[in-house]
Chain A
Amino acid sequence: MSIQVAGVSKHFGAFEALHDVSLEIAPGELVALLGPSGSGKTTLLRVIAGLEVPDAGRILFNGDDATDRRVQEREVGFVFQHYALFRHMTIFENVAFGLRVRPRALRPGEPEIARRVLRLLKLVQLDWLADRYPHQLSGGQRQRIALARALAIEPKVLLLDEPFGALDAKVRKELRRWLRRLHDEIHLTSVFVTHDQEEALEVADRVVVVNKGRIEQVGTPEEVYDHPATPFVYEFLGNVNVIESEGGRDYVRPHEIEVTAGPQSGSLAALVDHAVKIGPVVRLEVSRRDTGENLEVELPRDRFDRLGVETGAVVWLRPRRSRFFPQSAPHEAKIA
């Protein structure tokens, strides 16, 4: 099912959480809402789910206006950051809940409920936990149960609010790959909220970068990373050097700077303050000789070794690629 967000605004008191946001999500797509905390991404997700009522704008499912549809009737599966499993119910009952609360005429019989629940528990590879209670499970297991519970009602849309946010780094990585595979299997239109750029770039078909209640850019992971539309996107997705120049600022990624031992045309001299070796990559912290400005450069380990420079040496830098944003840019860049 497609989702269309048309001109949605939402205030909480004086705080503007969403400002005239419009977005289209195609059927079967996996979209990430990416932004810093307080950017409005969770509010947008909750508006789509019907948990928040927008001040203005419409939400359309498959072209039908769903703005005034009750939460119960939206047929959305929702996964919370902190799982929100029913603590007094077994895992089986948690997953069965959505089927049990259906009106009598639509409620499947007990054997059918059991069959469906077990199928879902197998899908999330946790069928052996059916009789446990949520507090007996690990975070990663709980989140997979939450997903099975959301899928039990055969939702038309799956919404995930920071689904991996409460998990440790290793489980996070496993689970997001697993989610990507699951999505490739079931092709359910899915939207997930995250503040982790790596997660968004790795998992999503398309990334929606949100900042201060507005959408900064929508595009594939490659598009938003390689061609950031605004200074904010540049800074939020990956590291970037912001270089003051006439009438604006130049944005250069650390790995898009060429480092040489001697001067070249268009290069500038800098002092190596610090060289940090991180596995196959070396990060140089340098300061420009003319302005003293601090910059970050990243280069492959072997390239660094061939260069043969040490802390205190002078190197020459030339950006391979940079992007200029004039000072009067609509979104004032924040220097990280």
Chain B
Amino acid sequence: MASIASSAPLVRATARRRPVAWVPIVLVGVALAYLSLFLFVPLFAVFFEALRKGWGVYLAAIREPDAWSAVKLTLLAAAIAVPLNLVFGVAAAWAIAKFDFGGKSLLITLIDLPFSVSPVISGLIYVLMFGLQGWFGPWLAEHELKVVFAVPGIVLATVFVTFPFVARELIPLMQAQGREEEEAAVLLGANAWQLLWRVTLPNVKWGLLYGVILCNARAMGEFGAVSVVSGHVRGYTNTLPLHIEILYNEYNFAAAFACASLLALLALVTLVLKTAVESRQAREQRP
């Protein structure tokens, strides 16, 4: 195909005689129109609306104390959920891919649970467990601990919802790599710790990073589960997505879109990182 571009007359003659390639043109056109309508235009709208009233209003909306505390809470929830699920994901994937034990398929199903359950239900589970009327509610009240409608509830819900990302990313990768390298390492005298750090993790590092990026994006963007357990206490239990909703419901569009632009930026950064990691991974995985 590339040779068509080179202006050899013979090649051009062949190209001219070919029937018009309208199928690819139509398909690409449809894809582009679809993407523009549902992705590019809304993304543009977010930034356009956010900056419509100028930089001053934009910066003020972001610097506003409630917005700022929402940003901090979002970062806190992600800072706890991502490392926790990183450790859990590695442990689960390692166990599933490299060892044989009973109940393995049950464990895999359980890991997928947060994906298959509606986030609202995930939030409700925590309310039912830790809310005032919940199973542990009376005990928690007695000890003056607050989970639901407080920061711990937000963190719990975020952990639950983002729980499969790292494990899901690693399991197929580790299974594809097989166990032979691990067996070789053990035969050469490596203990379990050396095995993990010197053989298993270096082999999956890009997949791991990829899982962490996705996990983080979801942790910061989660709405449903967090919304149920939050109680929407301004400046206290509002994450960024919740804060945006409140602003929007108050017809404070400029501020809502200003905060939304932060999340949109996060999404763009995630996409760039994801693409970079994927290309690194593809380069290293070549046989």
Contact = CB atoms under 8 A, between A and B. Distances in A.
Nearest to A82: B180
19 contacts: A71-B186, A72-B187, A72-B189, A72-B190, A77-B187, A78-B184, A78-B187, A84-B180, A84-B181, A84-B184, A85-B184, A86-B181, A86-B199, A86-B203, A87-B203, A88-B202, A89-B202, A135-B286, A150-B187
B189 A153 contact: yes
A92 B185 CA distance: 15
B188 A97 contact: yes
Given A72-B186, A80-B180, A88 B203 contact: yes
B104 interface: no
B191 interface: yes
A319 interface: no
For chain B, which range describes its interface: under 10, 10 to 19, 20 to 34, or 35 or more residues?
A: 20 to 34
B286 to A, nearest CB: 7
Interface in B72-112: none
B188 A153 contact: yes
Contacts of B205: 88
Contacts of A71: 186-187
Contacts of B284: 88
A98 B189 contact: yes
A74 B287 CA distance: 32
A71 B179 CA distance: 15
A149 B188 contact: yes
Nearest to A97: B188
A51 B284 CA distance: 29
Contacts of A85: 181, 184
Contact of A97 (B185, B203, B287): B185
A97 B186 contact: no
**Interface centre among B188, B191, B198, B205, by most A CB within 10 Å?**
B188
B183 A51 contact: yes
Interface in A144-162: 146, 149-150, 152-153
Contact of A76 (B187, B190, B194): B187
A49 B203 contact: no
